[in-house]
Structure 1
Amino acid sequence: DPRDALEMQVPPEDPRDALEMQVPPEDPRGALEMQVAAKAVSKAPFVVLYSIVPFLALMMFSAWWLASAIFIYSSGDIKERDCTPLYWGAIETSTGISTDGVDSYYNTTGGDCGYEVELNRTLQYSLLYMLFGFFWVTQFIIASTLVTIAGVAYECYLCQGADAKVSINVVWHSLVRTVRYHLGSIALGSLIMAIIKFIRAIVAFISYKLKDLVDKNPLLKFLVYCVNCCLWFVDKIISIINRNAYVMIAIDGENFCSSAARGTSLALEFILQIAIINVVGDFMLLLGRVSITCACGIITFLALDGDVYNDVSSPLMPVIFVSVSAFVVSSIFMAVVEVVIDTMTLAYCDDVNDHNGKPEFAPPELMDALGLAWEDIKAEKEKKQAEEKKLVGEAVDDDDPSVIRT
């Protein structure tokens, strides 16, 4: 009967099911999240300029640290290497010619002769102290920037409506709030990251010193790879936990441990949705970096290839310089967008949990990106709770205390 075929083609009653049937294979959640982040940045444009400040701070600190490390290293004792004659002994034996007056430096085949710097214990500990301080200070600057930008993004999240505007001093207010209340939490989180990176650096140095021994022993080589892999994995996990903790510090204003626990629980609860947004968002940010870099390089090459700049012998070095500069600048700006995306996502998850599944401050685009996913999670939770209540009811009917305790 053709009417049966028509009944099979009737669209579902729930409009959300119809929308899900019409969704193309590509998941639009990452694109919607990018729109939300772009709108937030447009409400507070000074946050993009603020990102240049920590970049300059990192550059100045790195230059000072490098100069200090060179001064410490140059304070060691300069020792002459021992040079063992390689050829003159055999020549003297075979020909009978005395080689006593020949300088031993000419009796070697390569770089075995020369000078080396010997560092005493104090200088060695000073270099280790400088290395650990470099990791801690750089992580502290990065974390302070992340908390400040996350505070600005959360202010934009709370600002609803198309005509709503945030304060022009929102970046300054977020910076003051970070310096006044959150430096202790930032110092703790950056200390944890500095310890992990310091351990990785020490292991890498030991592996370099034992390179000849490691290459000859397959078992030792395998163990070194396993240790490096485990340390890399721990570094990535702690970085994710710290990043979520910094965002939650800007949102809730709690200490580091409470914020880390809260951010981790939200990330695990929305792990699928956050993973989709992060993968799609990171890919789009990478495309943005590559597009800007390639565009600047091509424009520079076309400009130098014309008749205006005839004195340039080769456009290779200017193109490389412009491309590297464009990549660095675009990475700074894209990092701001990435922090805004993470903040918007965790702010939405926190808003949903605080208001029983009905977010009060989420923008419409963010609702479209994550709303349906939360409805699915909520329905699954309610189903599990109903099953647990049913099991408890059956246990009470059986009057078996052991079953109830189980």
Structure 2
Amino acid sequence: NSVLITVLFIFLPVQTFNTTNVTKLCPGAQCTFAFYGGESLYHKYIFIFQLANAFVFLWLVNFAIALGQCTLAGAFASYYWASRKPADIPLWPLFSSFGRAIRYHTGSLAFGALILAIVQLIRVILEYLDHKLKGTQNSFTRFLLCCLKCCFWCLEKFLKFINRNAYIMIAIYGKNFCTSAKEAFFLLMRNVVRVAVLDKVTDFLLFLGKILVAGGVGVLAFFFFTQKIPVIAQEAPALNYYWVPLLTVIIGSYLVAHGFFSVYAMCVDTLFLCFCEDLERNDGSTAKPYFMSASLHRILGKKELSPKKAAG
């Protein structure tokens, strides 16, 4: 296109605006110059506008995640703290929890999402600077950028962990974000050994479940695409390269499994925080009975001293 325009400008006669027929066809037409760059307010601050769009996008994404986590935590907590199961459990626990989160906890969820979005925006800016300065950096600059990116990556992981547990405490007690984050952090620190063991075991089991789901679907897809299942062999398309749809199916099944197992992970975290809170608030006596089941107390609990041993 640029070559064609150049050729036309060279060989065609130059005409002025007043000698052409444009004024008769379009009365009031004017010849203006369309500039590019920093000639207007929009072009001067376009980078700032792009950062603002990125920040709002990160904020909305984190808010949606926070709303989902708080909704799930409220539904699971309503099951745990029910004295008589299932009589005291709400009829629609998920919808009830979603209504409470929207009505009472929107500000706390937005504040937690805001903190996380600021850190993520700083990481985006650092990646942008690293990309722009690539090739012109000395060893000290590369080391400094690497340290900053590592520090903010760790900070983002820590904030995600704090926010997740803060949303659980918000769903349980309905307090603000800062108070819930502080109470959740100190509650976990008082049970740090249980936290470490439970997180590792849960992460391993959930990862194993995702691999099994993706692997099972991949094996079925392999037999389907290679027409090795006699019942549906006629339905399978004839493919020269079946690895492309096979990999697509495996990756898609893993992502779907990840979404489903993240609900189980939220359930484990919520029940664990409720369990720790139950141990500190109650002692298993008739006056203060545990809300947990006996099997859960055997798995995660510690042997409590009987009243006689405690008195002795």
TM over 0.5: yes
**Post-superposition offset of 1:319:** 1.1
**Post-superposition offset of 1:233:** 1.4
Structure 2 matches for 1:74-93, cutoff 5 A?
none
Does structure 1 residue 179 correspond to structure 2 residue 109?
Answer: no
Does structure 1 residue 286 correspond to structure 2 residue 213?
Answer: no
CA contact (8 A) 1:348 1:359 kept: no
**Post-superposition offset of 1:163:** 6.5
**Post-superposition offset of 1:227:** 1.0
Q: Partner of 1:222 in structure 2?
A: 143
CA contact (8 A) 1:273 1:370 kept: yes
Specify the SS of the correspondent of 2:158.
helix
C-alpha distance in 1 between matches for 2:266 and 2:107: 21
Does structure 1 residue 157 correspond to structure 2 residue 80?
Answer: yes
Among 290, 295, 305, which residue is 1:365 paired with? 295
CA contact (8 A) 2:78 2:90 kept: no
Q: Partner of 1:317 in structure 2?
A: 244
Structure 2 matches for 1:57-206, cutoff 5 A?
120-159=43-82, 166-206=89-129
Q: What residue ranges of structure 1 are gaps of 5+ in the alignment?
A: 1-78, 80-116, 377-381, 383-406
**Post-superposition offset of 1:235:** 1.1
Does structure 1 residue 346 correspond to structure 2 residue 259?
Answer: no
Q: What residue ranges of structure 2 are gaps of 5+ in the alignment?
A: 3-35, 228-232
C-alpha distance in 2 between matches for 1:160 and 1:284: 30
**Post-superposition offset of 1:164:** 6.0
Q: What letter matches 1:283 in structure 2?
A: F
C-alpha distance in 1 between matches for 2:241 and 2:289: 58
More helix by share: 1
C-alpha distance in 2 between matches for 1:162 and 1:260: 29
Q: Partner of 1:332 in structure 2?
A: 259
C-alpha distance in 1 between matches for 2:260 and 2:273: 21
> 1:245-283: per-residue Cα shift (whole Å, max 9, x none)?
001001111111110111001011001101110111011
Structure 2 matches for 1:299-310, cutoff 5 A?
299-306=220-227, 307-308=233-234, 309-310=236-237
| TM value normalised by structure 2 | 0.77
C-alpha distance in 2 between matches for 1:359 and 1:291: 40
C-alpha distance in 2 between matches for 1:145 and 1:205: 30
**Post-superposition offset of 1:356:** 4.9
| TM value normalised by structure 1 | 0.60
**Post-superposition offset of 1:218:** 1.9
**Post-superposition offset of 1:355:** 2.2
Cα distance, 1:316–1:198 mapped onto 2, change above 3 Å:
same
Cα distance, 1:162–1:189 mapped onto 2, change above 3 Å:
closer
Structure 1 runs of 4+ aligned residues shifted over 4 Å read 160-165, 356-359
C-alpha distance in 1 between matches for 2:271 and 2:140: 47
Q: Partner of 1:265 in structure 2?
A: 186
**Post-superposition offset of 1:316:** 1.5
Among 156, 161, 171, which residue is 1:250 paired with? 171
Q: What letter matches 1:274 in structure 2?
A: V
CA contact (8 A) 1:249 1:259 kept: yes
C-alpha distance in 2 between matches for 1:144 and 1:184: 11
Moved more, 283-292 or 309-318: 309-318
Percent sequence identity over aligned pairs: 32
**Post-superposition offset of 1:363:** 2.1
Q: Partner of 1:388 in structure 2?
A: none
> 1:65-122: per-residue Cα shift (whole Å, max 9, x none)?
xxxxxxxxxxxxxx9xxxxxxxxxxxxxxxxxxxxxxxxxxxxxxxxxxxxx857223
CA contact (8 A) 2:37 2:44 kept: no
